Structure 1
Amino acid sequence: MTPALDYSPINDCRDALSRIDDVLTRHRPFWQARPFSEQSVPDWIAEHPALAKLLLGLDDDSVDRLQGSDTALLDALENHFPVCADIRQLIALPAASQPQCSEPPAGIPGNKWRQIDAFVAAASPLRAPYFEWCCGKSFLGEALVTGCFANAEADPVLSGVDIDAALLEAARHRAVPKRQLICADVLGDDLSGSLHHDHHLLGLHACGGLHQRMLSLGAEQQCHRISLSPCCYHRFIADYQPLSQFLRAASLRVSADDLRLAVRQSKTARRGERDARRQLQVWHLALLEQRQQQGRELSRFQSLPHSAVKRGFDDFCRRQLAANQYPEDLVTVNDVDMDAAELRLRNAERLGLAAMVFRRLLEMRCVLDSAQYLCEQGYVVALTQFCDSAISPRNILIDARRDDSCGGKAQRESTALP
């Protein structure tokens, strides 16, 4: 297995964050552009006409391929966008050797099992008792306590927490022994009595505010080890704030809305889901254009599931107008220019690739903020890419082991210094 990228020394983590912030600050017009919602063309086009021409000339297959792969995107744009070389270096992570994936236990979806298998392999060796954060049906925990892995402990103990009672009930029906499942809101309920120093705290694809709470509570309770694969950095956060003292003092401010870019990647989505999402985008742009022509603001966009496409354009408009406090208005397909919306989306998809160049960099900023925070709290931290992006684009493992030596205490105290 390739060794993980060791960010134990705080200064190494600070240096990486400083370099990332320098790139992001110098290229703010690119990653903060909103081509899917802004009427005007992005500000960067005037200074980079060759890049804009290249992007607008891409065919649909190329756009689809570049949207799904950071490596392919950086390769395609590097000659017209020199910052790609810097980004490639800053987002580089060692990849863990992929396990020989066995058949999943009954009831665990195949791709979810591949994620679990890779996560456990990259984090091994593991030691119980385990505490699974935002566990859902507790597939990860089930795999750990039922001996699915060659290096599994004998008779391990597992706890898990999730807010969804129905998911926890489904987990209980799987009759896994020695598993305590807690129904609680991890953002609001007091879980300090459930988490303790002996726990190995685990989170596979915990979103935004959920994983920030996981790290802060885990560090507060001094869990001996924390292993996290973060996901959807913008979710469950009204006003994004970094965890680490270092990044809280930085001049660059990144919003929760900015962090949506970090997960704008559809490589693992089904074709039907991607087509439905695109149709919703066309409808949104058509309605937006119609309202702008009437001089009426459409400032909020209600996020809808893919299935909303089945209810049609009229229902879509009713929901969006109600969200913007226009409940009495009626817009039908005859009131909009759908062809113009299609063209606008086509151009936005292509120009949006310039923003996507920075998506993994924004993700690394969040990941390194978590790593820096854990270093500040006295942990030794390593980073690994635990699976291929085809299995999951959210494939970074933050693996932290508590350093209870004097050196760890000195390291925590040093973080208050400039």
Structure 2
Amino acid sequence: MFEQHFFEINRLLVKSKALWQVASFECDALPWEREFPALAKAVWSFSDEQIEELDVEHRLLVESLLPALKRDLISQGIEWELKYLCFPALKQSEETEVKEYPSRLSAGVKGRKWQQITLFSDSVMSQGSLQSSFLEWCSGKGHLGRLLAFRTNRLVTSLEWQSDLSRQGQLLSDKFKLHHQHICGDAFKEGESLLKQNQHAVALHACGDLHVELLKQASEVEVKAITIAPCCYHLIKDEEYQALSKQAKSYGLQLSKTDLRLPLQQSVIANEAKNKMRLKEMAWRLGFDSLQRQVRQRLSYLPIPTIKQAQLSGTFKDFCSWAADQKQLCLPININFEHFEQLGVHRQKLTRRIDLVAHLFRQAIEYWLLLDRCLYLQEQGYEVELSEFCHFDVTPRNKLIRANVRT
């Protein structure tokens, strides 16, 4: 199943690159409008409020744009595997009774995060026979490891590179007299020495290269069981994604860090004031960008530092003066700041609509990345299952890869 799905979804992503592999903030028009006129008309028909609503709910986004996209594809006489715009139905963890744990066990952990940890641990516990020990990868304070040690009475080793977090985690585990050791170390350098064959390696939301490194090291050692919930695919040392599986390498789809951010770009419902401030920041950034292009006589985006709310409390002219100072840019006198402010608002509206269409493919890209990991583990001799360990409203990063050494 993985191989066929991967073949089809790769074909979709290759054919549709013009719609999702776009630097929206560098555009002065919809870059694909000529080839997809119905889609262009559709996105401009949405109000700014509708854009916000569609970006929150992926299925609604697909339902709203799919008819226009299909019309454009028909007019071009081409077909795409559009069923992969949404995740296929994945096995969900079985509903279990809510377990009560001592309150001290979750001390300092926010409710939703603790819910993720308990549900992830349920998936670990139901993954075949229990191994003699666990290794928690990129553990932070080891909340997951502490729960596994409490539930199984097995040795748990939690590996974390930040010494302060590791130290705090050990203090928490010692209070319960658990068989739980915290080790401060670099997963890239010291992880392999901690991995054992008769072990279960787990990682809840380890980022990018870190969870990939676990898959590589654990499969090299032939660790009997692996369970990961991937996160932050874009946090990699290379400029482009390095495919894992032979199938992905043979296809040659190139994904930049910008592309790898797409799965994470799903809006959450924020209050009106926060939304207003976010849109203002976007418009002012783009307005200043239009200004600096004219001043520098260069048609290239000039990134500016992270903005504090104070920079948005004054006028657009004040903001441009601050941004110019940050980039050592001398602004001429008699600038029509009102013109560039309005230009920024227009580009903000344009950027949001380009991004909205790109977001049609965020689940397809994440599915491609997940399948690459699953196929890689299969190649290394594992039986692999892709599922969901919790509902989307608990965490959007709810996909689970469970692997057991093939016997």
TM-score by length of 1: 0.81
Structure 1 or 2: more helix by fraction? 2
* Residue segments in structure 2 that go unaligned for 5+ positions in a row: 71-79, 313-317
TM-aligned CA deviation for residue 22 of structure 1: 0.7
Match for residue 174 of structure 1?
Answer: 172
Map of 2:376 onto structure 1: 373
Three-state SS of the structure 2 residue aligned to 1:374 is helix
Query: Does residue 6 of structure 2 align to residue 17 of structure 1?
Result: yes
Q: Write the distance in 1 (CA, Å) between the matches of 2:401 and 2:269.
A: 22
Q: Deviations over 1:319-345 (max 9, x none)?
A: 7875xxx33657999857333323321
Matching of residues 330-349 of structure 1 within 5 Å: 335=337, 337-349=340-352
Structure 1 residues 59, 175: closer, same or farther in 2, change over 3 A? same
Separation in 2 of the partners of 1:144 and 1:200?
A: 11
2:40 corresponds to 1:42: no
Identify if the C-alpha distance between structure 1 residues 86 and 145 changes in structure 2 by more than 3 Å, giving closer, same or farther. same
Deviations 1:59-94 (A, max 9, x none): 334222221222221122222223584224664323
Larger mean Cα displacement after TM superposition, 227-236 or 373-382: 227-236
Post-superposition offset of 1:102: 5.2
Deviation at 1:354?
1.0
Q: Decide which structure has the larger Cα Rg and report it.
A: 2
Hey, what does 2:362 align to over in structure 1?
A: 359
Letter of the 2:120 partner, please give it.
Answer: F
The aligned counterpart of 1:232 is 232
The answer to whether 1:56 aligns with 2:53 is no
CA drift of 1:21 comes to 1.2
- 1:96 to 2:131 alignment: no
Q: How does 1:11-410 map to 2 (within 5 A)?
A: 12-35=1-24, 37-82=25-70, 83=80, 85-88=82-85, 91-101=88-98, 105-125=106-126, 127-128=130-131, 129-146=133-150, 152-153=151-152, 155-176=153-174, 177-187=178-188, 189-239=189-239, 240-267=241-268, 277-294=278-295, 295-296=297-298, 299=301, 301=303, 304=306, 308-313=307-312, 322=326, 326-327=327-328, 329=330, 335=337, 337-403=340-406, 405=407
Judging changes above 3 Å, is the alpha-carbon distance between structure 1 residues 63 and 338 closer, same or farther for their aligned structure 2 residues? same
- Displacement, 1:230? 0.5
Higher mean C-alpha deviation, range 230-239 or range 94-103: 94-103
Aligned residues: 379
- Residues 1:277 and 1:385: Cα distance change in structure 2 (over 3 Å): farther
Provide the rounded CA distance (Å) in 1 between the counterparts of 2:191 and 2:321.
Answer: 42
Report the Cα distance in structure 1 between the residues aligned to 2:38 and 2:262, rounded to whole angstroms.
23
Q: SS where residue 266 of structure 1 aligns? A: coil
Moved runs in structure 1, 4+ residues, more than 6 A?
A: 268-273, 314-317, 330-334
Q: Is the 8 Å Cα contact of residues 12 and 81 (structure 2) preserved in structure 1?
A: no
Measure how far apart 1:182 and its partner are: 1.8
Paired with 1:111 and 1:320, the residues of 2 have a C-alpha distance of 41
Shifted more, 122-131 versus 45-54: the winner is 122-131
Would you say the 8 A contact 2:207–2:230 is kept in 1? yes
Is the 8 Å Cα contact of residues 206 and 230 (structure 1) preserved in structure 2? yes
Q: Secondary structure, in 3 states, of the residue corresponding to 2:303? A: coil
Q: Do 1:287 and 1:317's aligned partners in 2 also have CA atoms closer than 8 Å? A: no
CA–CA distance in structure 1, aligned partners of residues 89 and 170 of structure 2? 40
Distance in 2 separating the partners of 1:92 and 1:208: 24
Cα distance, 1:316–1:170 mapped onto 2, change above 3 Å? farther
State whether residues 195 and 221 of structure 1, in contact with CA within 8 Å, keep that contact through their aligned partners in structure 2: yes
- What is the Cα deviation at residue 249 of structure 1? 1.6
Tell me the amino acid that sits aligned with residue 387 of structure 1. Answer: C
Alpha-carbon separation, structure 2, partners of 1:236 and 1:75? 33
Query: Helix, strand or coil: the match of 1:388?
Result: coil
User: Residue 89 and residue 265 in structure 1: after superposition, are their counterparts in 2 closer, same or farther (change >3 A)?
Assistant: closer
Is the contact made by 1:119 and 1:386 (CA closer than 8 Å) also made in structure 2? yes
Q: Deviation at 1:298?
A: 5.2
- For the aligned residue pairs, the C-alpha RMSD in angstroms reads 2.9
- Range with greater deviation from structure 2 (107-116 or 78-87): 78-87
Q: In structure 1, what is the Cα distance between the partners aligned to 2:215 and 2:283?
A: 39
Q: Which amino acid aligns with 2:234?
A: H
Cα contact 1:381–1:398 (8 A) shared by 2 = yes
Helix, strand or coil for the counterpart of 2:27?
coil
Relative to structure 1, is the Cα distance of residues 317 and 23 closer, same or farther in structure 2, using a 3 angstrom cutoff?
farther
The 1:32–1:214 alpha-carbon spacing in structure 2 relative to 1, beyond 3 Å, is same
Q: CA deviation at 1:42?
A: 3.0
**In structure 2, do the counterparts of structure 1 residues 275 and 395 end up closer, same or farther at CA, with 3 Å as the change threshold?**
farther
Alignment partner, residue 315 of structure 2: none
CA contact (8 A) 1:99 1:117 kept: no
- The 3-state SS of whatever aligns with 2:34 is helix
1:375-403 deviation per Cα after TM superposition (whole angstroms, max 9, x unaligned): 01000000002222221111100110111
Partner Cα distance (2:186, 2:272) in 1: 34
